[in-house]
Amino acid sequence: MGPELEDAALRVMRSGRVLLGPELCAFEDAWAAAVGAHSAVGVGNGLDALSLGLRALGVGPGDEVLVPSHTFIATWLAVVHVGAVPVPVDVRTANADWDPEALAAAVTSRTRAVVPVHLYGHPVDLAPVLQVARAHDLVVLDDAAQAHGARLGDRPVGGLTHATAWSFYPGKNLGALGDGGAVTTPDPTTAERLRSLRNYGSTEKYRHDEVGYNSRLDEVQAALLSVKLRRLDEHNARRAAAARRYDEGLAGLDQLVLPERSAGTSPVWHLYVVRTPHRARLREHLAARGVETLVHYPVPPHRQRAFADTPMAGLHLPMADRLATEVLSLPMGPTLGPDDQDVVIDAVRSFRA
């Protein structure tokens, strides 16, 4: 995509318009259409997409927000940044989905919102989440930072809840060449609120109706993202093919749990995450054969020092603790070729615990 990306960046630089201009509008329209939302609002990064999304939906100080126990810490940070309290619900699988009964049981009179996370690119079944939300008058903001293009049935993630937060961090399935993010929503009023919040709480220059932020997706990043969006489906299809190849090549191994696939969903394989009780030794074995692996994530949010002085530190979240010791991300991406994959598969198969 080099030449197309260079053209896009130069076009913006020569235009002289670098913020809140036509490139942002064009990308927002394209992204809203791609995910089946009424509107997309570009913001500075995924963390801001989450916190501005919560603010736009009326979440604030004193509110409790249900979050998965197993996720990237940004999901929890956003809740804290709007003055609310993250209330983790222990997950059922590494894909960060919940048992609907556990979710309902965590609701209190102070609960205001739920933030499901489509972790590793696996869409969370939103129907039971929305049902709990309706029963208790909660808003739902889904964290889709790892799920660009994922589908539930034939409906893309992005227009199925009150609002959806996206990150365009370079390593995501749709990544900018720097930081970027967006919120998509089916609701025009929420979109207007977000446009104000991202721009100092202002819709008219030097009139400020609320205490806003400065969090904008700039024109260069928007232009680059428009180029990359045209290849998203193709890149996701390549990831899906690689996931199938791993599933076949790694089937039937003792003490290696392959990623779960939920019926009726189309995951986008941001990561291919296996589980094993012998993680440290498997990692070493793979590294010695030239295979780099990563761990998403080695320390669950409730064990982070950032939350050491909060009630979250004392929580009993056995699945989150267990996943932190067992998950292992194998190489995955649109440029991973079959030969590379065979090296990984052979290396995993030759491991003896």
Active site residue 172: yes
Is 173 a binder of ligand PLP (CB under 6 A)?
no
**Is 68 or 347 the residue whose CB approaches ligand PLP more closely?**
68
Q: Catalytic pick from 151, 172, 275, 283?
A: 172
Is 221 a binder of ligand PLP (CB under 6 A)?
no
**Is 327 or 347 the residue whose CB approaches ligand PLP more closely?**
327
Q: How far is the CB of 203 from ligand PLP (least distance, A)?
A: 25
Is 71 a binder of ligand PLP (CB under 6 A)?
yes
**Is 167 or 226 the residue whose CB approaches ligand PLP more closely?**
167
| Of 68-76, 126-134, 274-282, 298-306: span binding ligand PLP (CB under 6 A) | 68-76
Is 124 a binder of ligand PLP (CB under 6 A)?
no
Tokens matching residue 88: 């983790």
Contact predicate 79/310, CB 8 Å: no
Interacting residue with ligand PLP among 27, 72, 76, 269 (CB under 6 A):
72
Is 46 a binder of ligand PLP (CB under 6 A)?
yes
3-class SS letters over 179-220: CCEEEEECCHHHHHHHHHHCECCCCECCECCCCCCECCCCHH
Is 145 a binder of ligand PLP (CB under 6 A)?
yes
* Residue with nearest beta carbon to ligand PLP: 46
Is 143 a binder of ligand PLP (CB under 6 A)?
yes
Is 336 a binder of ligand PLP (CB under 6 A)?
no
Nearest CA to 51 out of 163, 126, 189, 159 is that of 163
Active site residue ranges: 172
Catalog residues that contact ligand PLP under the rule CB under 6 A: 45-47, 71-72, 74-75, 117, 143, 145-146, 167, 169, 179, 181
